[in-house]
Structure 1
Amino acid sequence: MNVYPNISYIAKLISEPTRAIILESLMGGQALPAGELAYMAKVSHPTVSSHLSKLVEGNLLKVEQFGRHRYYKLANEQVAEVIEKLGAIAPSVQIRSLKQSDQMKQVRYARTCYDHLAGELGVSITEALLNQGLIILKDDLYEVTKEGEKWFENLGIMINNVGKTRRVFAKPCLDWSERRYHISGWLGAAIATHFLDQKWMIKSTTNRSVHLTEEGKIMLEQSLGLEY
């Protein structure tokens, strides 16, 4: 008698190509309507509605109601982490056009993974914080050192604001394109949000890549010694 979780149920849910596209389309942490997801997956509205229902039933997505409109988003950060990790072992996509090649470069360079930074940029920031002793890895979680607390406060991120949130403070998230780790959890989200608020980076309107601004490049060079 099998006493383990039924992972085949989840595997079956996400193995369908349209559902995989839906999940990937929501990896930026945003909520999108069925019509937009149908357009992204290149399927009809009834078809995408059927897939969305199955993903909601499987606890991979949740629905938010705004008036008469329904928006879909990933159920939680754990779902995003699983999708990111699957990307690390999945076969590479076959590039068929210059446009696709450019988009791949953008996504690999810097993107959002749910609500935190990923790609080369996310990994480089994480490793710089570790190398400078601003964070440490302890029991598979990241902790901010005393020097790190001062560094984050000078940057404008108040570590004390974490309060009583139930969310994990900071942990490694395996990056599918770099095959190394970036920061997820409360701290990862706080870094990404602060960078966006300060206009150190801006989100792409066509995919989940982000673009580092000149102000962002100067900030990273001055504060972490990273050159872009």
Structure 2
Amino acid sequence: MPRYSSLLRETRPNVRETTPPKRPGLTVNELYERLKEMAVLYTIRPGERVNELELAQRFDVSRTPLREALNRLVAESLLHFVPNRGFFARELHRQDIFDLFELRRSIESSAVLLAAERASIKDLRALRKFWKEVMKTKAQTSAAELTIKDEEFHVRLVALAGNNEMVRALYGINARIHFVRWMDLEQRGHDAFAEHLDILDAIEARDIERCRALTESHITWRMEEIARVVDAGVVRLFSR
């Protein structure tokens, strides 16, 4: 499977990060990226305690930078911390996923309305070209990489609104639902991908009502759909 961190790099909001001075071994930021990939993909299974000693040995780092990186993931809701017990992988609960999809729908629906007012034809056509190129190679592309490309499309779609906070919020949501969307794509295929170009058509036509309807329809997940994908994900995680 392609590395989550390397594939996702292009979709990040343009936010300047402070990088610690370089030293032998991993920096805190590099360690954070490795641990984030593990958390996003549930390399540590839901509810399982994080073995700090094992991670420190694996990455050849001391406990101080390790804890700094782990605490960053707690702040992003990718890990949980229990006082006097340590760090734990987040659970995979249906209601949590449902809530995140509702939040994502709200952000993207608002963003496309702003995009209909603000997006340039140049940016719209660049995004259209990107997605058509993805679709040309979809048959040869893994579900893991297609999930990343789909996330990139939606981040770039929201970026058309010209609101960096919306982009930042979506980026965080994507990390927390990435595993579920990957599982869904493996099971269901990419039937909904054609709707991407319809949404771009509506934005270019400045058709606000169609923008809203298409986006909400595209993103809405019913609880029974979420239950199916979460259950399949849990089976996979605990059978490996």
TM-score by length of 1: 0.36
The structure richer in helix per residue is: 2
Q: Which has the higher contact order (CA 8 A, sep 6+)?
A: 2
Q: Which has the higher strand share?
A: 1
